[in-house]
A = this chain, B = another copy of it.
Amino acid sequence: MPKVTVTVTLKPALLDAQGRTIQEALHSLGYTDVANVRVGKVIELETANPADVTAMCEKLLANPVMESYKIEVDG
């Protein structure tokens, strides 16, 4: 079955609190040049029907109000 990778990220306009926390932690470790840290989810799955994945995202995998998603189909 084809493998599909869905990357779900917060919409750019939204404050990424998790990203901000990681950025501050990296700064405290001495990586002071790090900027614009943003965190998202990556969901890998296998399906016989990759065309269904958009509907899966809309219904379950992503929150359409706050998140955007990218779908990559391998093979």
Q: Could you tell me if A47 and B35 are in contact, using CB atoms closer than 8 angstroms? A: yes
Given A7-B42, A42-B7; A59-B29 close (CB under 8 Å): yes
> Is A73 engaged at the interface, CB distance under 8 Å to the other chain?
no
> Is A68 engaged at the interface, CB distance under 8 Å to the other chain?
no
Dominant SS at the A interface? mixed
> What B residues does A71 contact at CB under 8 A?
none
Interface size on A, residues (CB 8 A): 33
Q: Could you tell me if B60 and A47 are in contact, using CB atoms closer than 8 angstroms? A: no
Q: Which 10 A-B pairs have the closest CB atoms?
A: A37-B45, A33-B48, A40-B42, A35-B46, A42-B42, A38-B44, A36-B46, A34-B47, A39-B43, A34-B45
